[in-house]
Homo-oligomer: A and B are copies of this chain.
Protein backbone atom coordinates (compact mmCIF):
# COMPACT_ATOMS: atom_id res chain seq x y z
CA UNK A 1 0.00 0.00 0.00
CA UNK A 2 1.31 3.46 -0.86
CA UNK A 3 1.53 5.10 2.55
CA UNK A 4 0.59 8.49 1.19
CA UNK A 5 -2.71 7.16 -0.13
CA UNK A 6 -3.52 4.89 2.81
CA UNK A 7 -6.68 5.42 4.86
CA UNK A 8 -8.14 3.61 7.82
CA UNK A 9 -10.82 1.93 5.76
CA UNK A 10 -8.25 0.83 3.25
CA UNK A 11 -6.05 -0.69 5.92
CA UNK A 12 -9.02 -2.74 6.93
CA UNK A 13 -10.31 -3.68 3.50
CA UNK A 14 -7.20 -4.19 1.40
CA UNK A 15 -5.84 -7.20 3.28
CA UNK A 16 -9.26 -8.83 3.12
CA UNK A 17 -9.58 -8.29 -0.60
CA UNK A 18 -6.06 -9.55 -1.17
CA UNK A 19 -6.69 -12.62 0.92
CA UNK A 20 -9.90 -13.45 -0.92
CA UNK A 21 -8.23 -13.03 -4.30
CA UNK A 22 -5.26 -15.10 -3.28
CA UNK A 23 -7.15 -17.99 -1.74
CA UNK A 24 -10.37 -18.10 -3.72
CA UNK A 25 -9.63 -16.74 -7.17
CA UNK A 26 -5.97 -17.19 -8.00
CA UNK A 27 -6.21 -21.01 -7.92
CA UNK A 28 -8.75 -20.79 -10.77
CA UNK A 29 -6.04 -19.61 -13.16
CA UNK A 30 -4.55 -23.06 -13.36
CA UNK A 31 -7.30 -24.20 -15.69
CA UNK A 32 -7.93 -20.87 -17.34
CA UNK A 33 -6.86 -22.01 -20.77
CA UNK A 34 -8.93 -25.17 -20.80
CA UNK A 35 -12.19 -24.10 -19.15
CA UNK A 36 -15.05 -22.73 -21.26
CA UNK A 37 -16.42 -19.27 -20.65
CA UNK A 38 -19.64 -20.77 -19.33
CA UNK A 39 -17.75 -22.89 -16.82
CA UNK A 40 -15.70 -19.89 -15.75
CA UNK A 41 -18.69 -17.68 -15.08
CA UNK A 42 -20.55 -20.43 -13.30
CA UNK A 43 -17.58 -20.75 -10.98
CA UNK A 44 -17.24 -17.00 -10.53
CA UNK A 45 -20.93 -16.48 -9.87
CA UNK A 46 -20.57 -19.02 -7.09
CA UNK A 47 -17.57 -17.13 -5.71
CA UNK A 48 -19.75 -14.07 -5.31
CA UNK A 49 -21.45 -15.74 -2.38
CA UNK A 50 -18.05 -15.87 -0.72
CA UNK A 51 -17.54 -12.19 -1.41
CA UNK A 52 -20.81 -11.39 0.29
CA UNK A 53 -20.00 -13.70 3.16
CA UNK A 54 -16.67 -11.94 3.63
CA UNK A 55 -18.52 -8.65 3.87
CA UNK A 56 -16.87 -7.38 0.69
CA UNK A 57 -19.88 -6.84 -1.53
CA UNK A 58 -20.50 -3.50 -3.11
CA UNK A 59 -17.05 -2.00 -2.65
CA UNK A 60 -17.57 0.36 -5.54
CA UNK A 61 -20.98 1.65 -4.49
CA UNK A 62 -22.05 4.77 -2.72
CA UNK A 63 -23.69 4.33 0.65
CA UNK A 64 -27.11 5.14 -0.66
CA UNK A 65 -26.89 2.16 -2.98
CA UNK A 66 -25.91 -0.07 -0.10
CA UNK A 67 -22.18 0.24 -0.66
CA UNK A 68 -19.17 1.42 1.28
CA UNK A 69 -19.00 4.96 0.05
CA UNK A 70 -15.30 4.62 -0.64
CA UNK A 71 -13.48 7.39 -2.39
CA UNK A 72 -12.35 6.69 -5.91
CA UNK A 73 -8.77 6.71 -4.63
CA UNK A 74 -9.59 4.07 -2.03
CA UNK A 75 -11.51 1.87 -4.41
CA UNK A 76 -8.74 2.17 -6.99
CA UNK A 77 -6.35 0.46 -4.64
CA UNK A 78 -8.77 -2.39 -4.04
CA UNK A 79 -9.21 -2.65 -7.78
CA UNK A 80 -5.48 -3.13 -8.23
CA UNK A 81 -5.62 -5.96 -5.71
CA UNK A 82 -8.46 -7.62 -7.64
CA UNK A 83 -6.35 -7.41 -10.79
CA UNK A 84 -3.98 -9.96 -9.40
CA UNK A 85 -6.39 -12.25 -11.30
CA UNK A 86 -7.52 -9.87 -13.98
CA UNK A 87 -10.08 -12.18 -15.55
CA UNK A 88 -11.75 -13.06 -12.26
CA UNK A 89 -11.07 -10.41 -9.65
CA UNK A 90 -13.37 -7.54 -10.57
CA UNK A 91 -15.99 -9.98 -11.82
CA UNK A 92 -16.19 -11.87 -8.53
CA UNK A 93 -16.56 -8.57 -6.69
CA UNK A 94 -19.26 -7.45 -9.19
CA UNK A 95 -17.31 -4.39 -10.16
CA UNK A 96 -16.23 -5.46 -13.63
CA UNK A 97 -16.35 -3.14 -16.62
CA UNK A 98 -18.56 -2.26 -18.36
CA UNK A 99 -21.08 -2.88 -15.57
CA UNK A 100 -19.24 -0.72 -13.06
CA UNK A 101 -19.47 2.24 -15.41
CA UNK A 102 -23.12 1.62 -16.06
CA UNK A 103 -23.80 1.34 -12.33
CA UNK A 104 -21.98 4.60 -11.64
CA UNK A 105 -23.92 6.27 -14.43
CA UNK A 106 -27.36 5.02 -13.44
CA UNK A 107 -26.70 5.69 -9.80
CA UNK A 108 -25.90 9.31 -10.57
CA UNK A 109 -28.20 10.08 -13.47
CA UNK A 110 -30.83 7.34 -13.70
CA UNK A 111 -34.50 7.98 -12.94
CA UNK A 112 -36.16 6.12 -10.10
CA UNK A 113 -37.76 3.79 -12.60
CA UNK A 114 -34.45 3.11 -14.34
CA UNK A 115 -32.80 2.41 -11.02
CA UNK A 116 -35.48 -0.02 -10.00
CA UNK A 117 -35.58 -1.86 -13.26
CA UNK A 118 -31.94 -1.76 -14.39
CA UNK A 119 -29.62 -0.59 -11.65
CA UNK A 120 -30.79 -2.70 -8.73
CA UNK A 121 -30.52 -6.09 -10.45
CA UNK A 122 -27.05 -5.02 -11.58
CA UNK A 123 -26.05 -4.13 -8.04
CA UNK A 124 -27.22 -7.50 -6.88
CA UNK A 125 -25.23 -9.24 -9.57
CA UNK A 126 -28.35 -10.78 -11.08
CA UNK A 127 -27.88 -9.39 -14.53
CA UNK A 128 -25.13 -7.96 -16.71
CA UNK A 129 -25.13 -5.00 -19.04
CA UNK A 130 -23.11 -3.43 -21.82
CA UNK A 131 -22.36 -0.11 -23.46
CA UNK A 132 -22.72 0.41 -27.21
CA UNK A 133 -20.86 3.39 -28.52
CA UNK A 134 -18.20 2.64 -31.17
CA UNK A 135 -19.26 2.28 -34.79
CA UNK A 136 -17.16 0.65 -37.48
CA UNK A 137 -17.77 3.43 -39.97
CA UNK A 138 -16.34 6.21 -37.82
CA UNK A 139 -13.06 6.82 -36.05
CA UNK A 140 -13.37 6.32 -32.33
CA UNK A 141 -11.00 9.22 -31.88
CA UNK A 142 -13.81 11.61 -32.73
CA UNK A 143 -16.82 10.54 -30.70
CA UNK A 144 -19.10 13.20 -32.07
CA UNK A 145 -19.30 11.31 -35.36
CA UNK A 146 -22.09 8.76 -34.99
CA UNK A 147 -24.60 7.35 -37.43
CA UNK A 148 -26.82 5.47 -34.98
CA UNK A 149 -30.03 7.45 -34.70
CA UNK A 150 -32.92 7.41 -32.25
CA UNK A 151 -36.07 8.98 -33.61
CA UNK A 152 -39.02 9.74 -31.38
CA UNK A 153 -42.24 8.07 -32.42
CA UNK A 154 -45.06 8.53 -29.95
CA UNK A 155 -43.86 7.42 -26.54
CA UNK A 156 -41.00 5.43 -28.03
CA UNK A 157 -37.59 5.94 -29.52
CA UNK A 158 -36.93 3.98 -32.71
CA UNK A 159 -33.24 3.15 -32.99
CA UNK A 160 -31.29 2.21 -36.08
CA UNK A 161 -27.55 1.75 -36.26
CA UNK A 162 -24.47 -0.39 -36.36
CA UNK A 163 -22.15 -0.84 -33.36
CA UNK A 164 -19.09 -2.94 -32.72
CA UNK A 165 -16.66 -3.69 -29.95
CA UNK A 166 -19.68 -3.71 -27.69
CA UNK A 167 -17.97 -5.47 -24.83
CA UNK A 168 -19.84 -8.13 -22.87
CA UNK A 169 -22.93 -7.99 -25.05
CA UNK A 170 -23.20 -11.77 -24.93
CA UNK A 171 -25.25 -12.56 -21.87
CA UNK A 172 -26.09 -8.93 -21.08
CA UNK A 173 -29.68 -7.99 -20.22
CA UNK A 174 -29.51 -4.46 -21.51
CA UNK A 175 -27.25 -2.06 -23.31
CA UNK A 176 -26.79 1.63 -22.96
CA UNK A 177 -26.74 2.91 -26.51
CA UNK A 178 -25.22 6.16 -27.66
CA UNK A 179 -27.48 7.48 -30.43
CA UNK A 180 -28.12 10.74 -32.23
CA UNK A 181 -31.40 12.27 -31.13
CA UNK A 182 -30.79 15.88 -32.11
CA UNK A 183 -28.97 15.85 -35.46
CA UNK A 184 -29.20 19.57 -36.00
CA UNK A 185 -27.75 20.57 -32.62
CA UNK A 186 -24.07 21.50 -32.23
CA UNK A 187 -21.85 18.40 -32.50
CA UNK A 188 -21.45 17.81 -28.76
CA UNK A 189 -25.18 18.08 -28.11
CA UNK A 190 -26.49 15.70 -30.71
CA UNK A 191 -26.32 12.38 -28.94
CA UNK A 192 -28.19 10.80 -26.06
CA UNK A 193 -27.84 7.65 -23.98
CA UNK A 194 -30.76 5.27 -24.19
CA UNK A 195 -31.27 1.97 -22.41
CA UNK A 196 -32.10 -0.86 -24.81
CA UNK A 197 -32.91 -4.31 -23.38
CA UNK A 198 -31.07 -6.88 -25.45
CA UNK A 199 -34.22 -8.86 -26.08
CA UNK A 200 -35.81 -5.90 -27.84
CA UNK A 201 -37.00 -6.76 -31.32
CA UNK A 202 -34.48 -5.57 -33.88
CA UNK A 203 -31.37 -6.05 -31.74
CA UNK A 204 -29.34 -8.25 -34.04
CA UNK A 205 -26.15 -9.93 -32.91
CA UNK A 206 -23.85 -10.20 -35.92
CA UNK A 207 -20.83 -11.89 -34.36
CA UNK A 208 -18.29 -11.88 -31.60
CA UNK A 209 -15.15 -10.13 -32.83
CA UNK A 210 -11.90 -11.96 -32.12
CA UNK A 211 -9.40 -9.73 -30.34
CA UNK A 212 -5.82 -10.68 -31.04
CA UNK A 213 -7.12 -14.03 -32.14
CA UNK A 214 -9.55 -14.79 -29.34
CA UNK A 215 -13.30 -14.45 -29.73
CA UNK A 216 -13.92 -15.29 -26.08
CA UNK A 217 -17.40 -15.74 -24.68
CA UNK A 218 -19.98 -14.35 -22.32
CA UNK A 219 -18.68 -11.42 -20.28
CA UNK A 220 -15.26 -11.78 -21.92
CA UNK A 221 -16.28 -11.02 -25.49
CA UNK A 222 -16.83 -8.11 -27.81
CA UNK A 223 -19.73 -8.03 -30.23
CA UNK A 224 -20.76 -6.48 -33.46
CA UNK A 225 -24.47 -5.70 -33.46
CA UNK A 226 -27.07 -4.02 -35.55
CA UNK A 227 -30.13 -2.13 -34.36
CA UNK A 228 -33.00 -2.33 -36.83
CA UNK A 229 -36.05 -0.32 -35.88
CA UNK A 230 -35.65 -1.16 -32.22
CA UNK A 231 -38.37 0.50 -30.18
CA UNK A 232 -37.92 1.39 -26.53
CA UNK A 233 -40.02 3.70 -24.34
CA UNK A 234 -38.83 7.30 -24.07
CA UNK A 235 -38.48 6.72 -20.33
CA UNK A 236 -35.36 4.73 -21.22
CA UNK A 237 -33.55 7.96 -21.99
CA UNK A 238 -30.86 8.62 -19.36
CA UNK A 239 -30.80 12.26 -18.30
CA UNK A 240 -31.93 14.57 -21.03
CA UNK A 241 -31.75 14.54 -24.79
CA UNK A 242 -28.41 15.78 -26.09
CA UNK A 243 -26.56 14.98 -22.86
CA UNK A 244 -24.86 11.91 -24.31
CA UNK A 245 -21.36 13.34 -24.41
CA UNK A 246 -21.65 14.99 -21.07
CA UNK A 247 -22.66 11.68 -19.52
CA UNK A 248 -19.97 9.83 -21.46
CA UNK A 249 -17.36 12.15 -19.97
CA UNK A 250 -18.74 11.49 -16.48
CA UNK A 251 -18.59 7.79 -17.18
CA UNK A 252 -15.09 7.86 -18.65
CA UNK A 253 -13.33 9.77 -15.88
CA UNK A 254 -13.57 7.10 -13.20
CA UNK A 255 -13.64 4.49 -15.97
CA UNK A 256 -10.10 5.37 -16.93
CA UNK A 257 -8.99 5.12 -13.32
CA UNK A 258 -10.48 1.63 -13.25
CA UNK A 259 -8.67 0.66 -16.46
CA UNK A 260 -5.38 2.08 -15.20
CA UNK A 261 -5.56 0.29 -11.88
CA UNK A 262 -6.34 -2.96 -13.64
CA UNK A 263 -3.27 -2.44 -15.82
CA UNK A 264 -1.15 -1.70 -12.77
CA UNK A 265 -2.38 -4.89 -11.13
CA UNK A 266 -1.57 -6.81 -14.29
CA UNK A 267 1.86 -5.22 -14.47
CA UNK A 268 2.58 -6.26 -10.88
CA UNK A 269 1.50 -9.79 -11.73
CA UNK A 270 3.83 -9.84 -14.75
CA UNK A 271 6.61 -8.31 -12.69
CA UNK A 272 6.23 -10.99 -10.06
CA UNK A 273 6.38 -13.76 -12.66
CA UNK A 274 9.41 -12.13 -14.29
CA UNK A 275 11.28 -11.98 -10.98
CA UNK A 276 10.36 -15.54 -10.07
CA UNK A 277 11.69 -16.70 -13.40
CA UNK A 278 14.85 -14.60 -13.18
CA UNK A 279 15.60 -15.94 -9.72
CA UNK A 280 15.10 -19.58 -10.61
CA UNK A 281 15.88 -20.27 -14.26
CA UNK A 282 19.31 -21.72 -14.85
CA UNK A 283 20.97 -20.66 -18.05
CA UNK A 284 24.25 -22.36 -17.41
CA UNK A 285 25.89 -24.24 -14.66
CA UNK A 286 25.49 -22.16 -11.51
CA UNK A 287 24.24 -19.17 -13.48
CA UNK A 288 20.70 -17.90 -13.09
CA UNK A 289 18.91 -15.69 -15.56
CA UNK A 290 18.64 -12.91 -12.99
CA UNK A 291 22.41 -12.52 -12.92
CA UNK A 292 22.41 -11.13 -16.45
CA UNK A 293 22.26 -7.37 -16.84
CA UNK A 294 19.76 -7.39 -19.69
CA UNK A 295 17.29 -9.10 -17.38
CA UNK A 296 18.25 -6.80 -14.51
CA UNK A 297 17.51 -3.87 -16.78
CA UNK A 298 14.03 -5.23 -17.52
CA UNK A 299 13.36 -5.64 -13.82
CA UNK A 300 14.73 -2.28 -12.71
CA UNK A 301 12.94 -0.29 -15.38
CA UNK A 302 9.68 -2.14 -14.81
CA UNK A 303 9.81 -1.54 -11.06
CA UNK A 304 10.16 2.21 -11.46
CA UNK A 305 7.63 2.49 -14.26
CA UNK A 306 4.97 0.56 -12.36
CA UNK A 307 5.48 2.68 -9.26
CA UNK A 308 5.37 5.83 -11.34
CA UNK A 309 2.10 4.79 -12.93
CA UNK A 310 0.51 3.97 -9.59
CA UNK A 311 1.49 7.29 -8.06
CA UNK A 312 0.21 9.20 -11.09
CA UNK A 313 -3.07 7.33 -11.17
CA UNK A 314 -3.81 7.52 -7.47
CA UNK A 315 -2.95 11.20 -7.45
CA UNK A 316 -5.45 11.68 -10.25
CA UNK A 317 -8.09 9.63 -8.46
CA UNK A 318 -7.61 11.77 -5.37
CA UNK A 319 -8.00 14.89 -7.45
CA UNK A 320 -11.18 13.55 -9.03
CA UNK A 321 -12.45 12.91 -5.52
CA UNK A 322 -11.70 16.52 -4.60
CA UNK A 323 -12.49 18.46 -7.72
CA UNK A 324 -14.46 16.24 -10.04
CA UNK A 325 -13.42 14.56 -13.28
CA UNK A 326 -13.99 17.73 -15.27
CA UNK A 327 -11.06 19.43 -13.53
CA UNK A 328 -8.75 16.50 -14.29
CA UNK A 329 -8.91 16.11 -18.03
CA UNK A 330 -5.20 16.69 -18.51
CA UNK A 331 -4.27 14.28 -15.75
CA UNK A 332 -6.65 11.64 -17.07
CA UNK A 333 -5.19 11.87 -20.57
CA UNK A 334 -1.72 11.60 -19.13
CA UNK A 335 -2.31 8.52 -17.01
CA UNK A 336 -4.26 6.80 -19.77
CA UNK A 337 -1.40 6.68 -22.26
CA UNK A 338 1.38 6.34 -19.70
CA UNK A 339 -0.20 3.38 -17.93
CA UNK A 340 -1.36 1.64 -21.10
CA UNK A 341 2.15 1.77 -22.51
CA UNK A 342 3.66 0.75 -19.20
CA UNK A 343 1.63 -2.42 -18.82
CA UNK A 344 2.42 -3.55 -22.36
CA UNK A 345 6.12 -2.91 -21.88
CA UNK A 346 6.17 -4.85 -18.62
CA UNK A 347 4.20 -7.73 -20.12
CA UNK A 348 6.51 -7.79 -23.12
CA UNK A 349 9.61 -7.93 -20.92
CA UNK A 350 8.10 -10.65 -18.75
CA UNK A 351 7.34 -12.68 -21.87
CA UNK A 352 10.88 -12.18 -23.12
CA UNK A 353 12.32 -13.35 -19.79
CA UNK A 354 10.22 -16.51 -20.02
CA UNK A 355 11.41 -17.30 -23.53
CA UNK A 356 9.29 -19.78 -25.44
CA UNK A 357 7.32 -20.54 -22.29
CA UNK A 358 6.20 -16.93 -22.24
CA UNK A 359 4.64 -17.29 -25.68
CA UNK A 360 2.73 -20.38 -24.65
CA UNK A 361 -0.18 -21.01 -22.32
CA UNK A 362 2.27 -22.00 -19.60
CA UNK A 363 1.81 -18.63 -17.93
CA UNK A 364 -0.92 -15.99 -18.13
CA UNK A 365 1.46 -13.57 -19.84
CA UNK A 366 0.67 -14.10 -23.51
CA UNK A 367 -3.06 -14.15 -22.78
CA UNK A 368 -2.77 -10.90 -20.89
CA UNK A 369 -0.83 -9.28 -23.70
CA UNK A 370 -3.47 -10.38 -26.20
CA UNK A 371 -6.23 -8.96 -24.04
CA UNK A 372 -4.51 -5.72 -23.22
CA UNK A 373 -2.85 -4.73 -26.49
CA UNK A 374 -6.03 -2.75 -26.96
CA UNK A 375 -5.14 -0.63 -23.92
CA UNK A 376 -3.35 1.79 -26.23
CA UNK A 377 -6.44 2.00 -28.41
CA UNK A 378 -9.65 1.86 -26.45
CA UNK A 379 -11.02 4.76 -24.49
CA UNK A 380 -8.90 7.06 -26.62
CA UNK A 381 -5.81 6.00 -28.51
CA UNK A 382 -2.39 7.14 -27.26
CA UNK A 383 -2.24 9.64 -30.08
CA UNK A 384 -5.54 11.24 -29.12
CA UNK A 385 -4.65 11.54 -25.46
CA UNK A 386 -1.23 12.98 -26.18
CA UNK A 387 -2.73 15.61 -28.42
CA UNK A 388 -5.43 16.40 -25.87
CA UNK A 389 -2.99 16.74 -23.02
CA UNK A 390 -0.65 18.96 -25.04
CA UNK A 391 -3.46 21.19 -26.21
CA UNK A 392 -4.84 21.36 -22.68
CA UNK A 393 -1.44 22.59 -21.52
CA UNK A 394 -0.81 24.92 -24.45
CA UNK A 395 -4.13 26.63 -23.83
CA UNK A 396 -2.62 28.13 -20.71
CA UNK A 397 0.20 29.42 -22.89
CA UNK A 398 -2.25 31.17 -25.15
CA UNK A 399 -2.55 28.63 -27.92
CA UNK A 400 -6.17 27.82 -28.50
CA UNK A 401 -6.78 25.54 -31.42
CA UNK A 402 -9.56 23.23 -32.23
CA UNK A 403 -8.56 19.73 -31.36
CA UNK A 404 -9.04 18.30 -34.82
CA UNK A 405 -6.65 20.60 -36.59
A85 to B136, CA, bound (A): 26
Q: Is the CB of B281 within 8 A of A139?
A: yes
List which A185-241 residues lie within 8 A (CB) of chain B: 209-214
Determine if A356 and B165 form an interchain contact, defined as CB atoms under 8 angstroms apart: yes
- Please measure, in the bound complex, the distance between the C-alpha atom of A358 and the C-alpha atom of B212, giving whole angstroms: 9
Q: List the B side residues contacting A360 at CB < 8 Å.
A: 209-211
Chain B residue with the shortest CB-CB distance to A281:
B139
Chain A positions 346-401 with a Cβ under 8 Å from a chain B Cβ: 351-352, 355-362, 366-367, 369-370, 373-374, 376-378, 381-383, 385-387, 389-391, 393-394, 397-399, 401
CB of A212 within 8 A of CB of B210, answer no
Collect the chain B residues with CB atoms within 8 Å of residue A297's CB: 293-294, 386, 390
How far apart are A257's CB and chain B's nearest CB, in angstroms?
15
Residues A139 and B291 in contact in the complex (CB < 8 Å), given A212-B366, A213-B213, A356-B164:
no
Which residues does chain B contribute within 8 Å of A145, judged by CB atoms? 284
A213 contact from B280, B334, B352, B370, Cβ within 8 A: B370
Of the listed stretches A7-15, A96-104, A119-127, A302-310, chain B binds A302-310
CB contact between A4 and one of B5, B355, B370, B394 (< 8 Å): that residue: B5
Inter-chain CA distance A401–B290, complex, in Å, is: 9
Whether A296 lies near B334 (C-beta < 8 A) is: no
Q: Is the interface of A mostly helix, strand, loop or mixed?
A: helix
Contacts of A212 in B (CB 8 A): 212-213, 359, 366, 369-370
CB within 8 Å of B: which of A290-341? 290-297, 299-301, 303-304, 307-309, 311-312, 315, 318-319, 322, 330, 333-335, 337-338
A380 CB to nearest B CB, Å:
11
Cβ of A279 under 8 Å from chain B: yes
Q: A134 interface residue, CB < 8 Å from B?
A: yes
A279 contact from B293, B385, B399, Cβ within 8 A: B399
A62 on the B face (CB < 8 A): no
Is B311 touching A397 in the complex (CB atoms < 8 A)? no
Q: How many A residues have CB within 8 A of the partner chain?
A: 97
- On whether the beta carbons of B282 and A139 are closer than 8 Å, the reply is yes
Whether B280 and A398, one on each chain, are in contact in the complex, defined by CB atoms closer than 8 angstroms, is yes
Q: A50 at the A/B interface (Cβ < 8 Å)?
A: no
Query: Which one, B282, B293, B366, contacts A293 given CB within 8 A?
Result: B293
Instruction: Kindly provide the distance from the CB of A213 to the nearest chain B CB, expressed in whole angstroms.
Output: 5
Interchain CA distance A164-B356 in the complex, whole Å: 9
Q: Are A390 and B311 in contact (CB under 8 A)?
A: no
Known contacts A289-B139, A359-B373, A374-B359; decide if A2 and B211 are in contact (CB<8 Å).
no
Q: Do the beta carbons of B385 and A356 come within 8 Å of each other? A: no
With an 8 A cutoff between CB atoms, is A150 at the interface? no
CA distance A304 to B315 in the complex (A): 12
Give the complex CA separation of A404 and B4 in angstroms.
35
Pair A390/B356 contact, Cβ less than 8 Å: no
B290 touches A142 (CB 8 A): no
Write out the residue numbers on chain B whose beta carbons fall within 8 Å of the beta carbon of A312: 304, 307-308, 311
24 residue pairs from A and B, CB less than 8 Å apart: A3-B318, A4-B318, A136-B357, A139-B283, A139-B355, A209-B360, A211-B366, A278-B394, A290-B399, A291-B401, A291-B405, A293-B293, A295-B390, A296-B389, A296-B390, A296-B391, A297-B386, A299-B390, A300-B390, A304-B337, A352-B376, A352-B381, A359-B374, A366-B373
3 closest A-B pairs by beta carbon, nearest first, are A296-B390, A279-B397, A293-B293
Q: A211-B366, A290-B401, A307-B334 are in contact. List 19 more A-B contacts (CB 8 A).
A: A3-B322, A4-B315, A134-B356, A139-B284, A165-B356, A213-B214, A275-B394, A278-B390, A284-B404, A288-B401, A290-B397, A294-B294, A296-B387, A297-B390, A308-B309, A311-B311, A355-B381, A356-B374, A356-B378
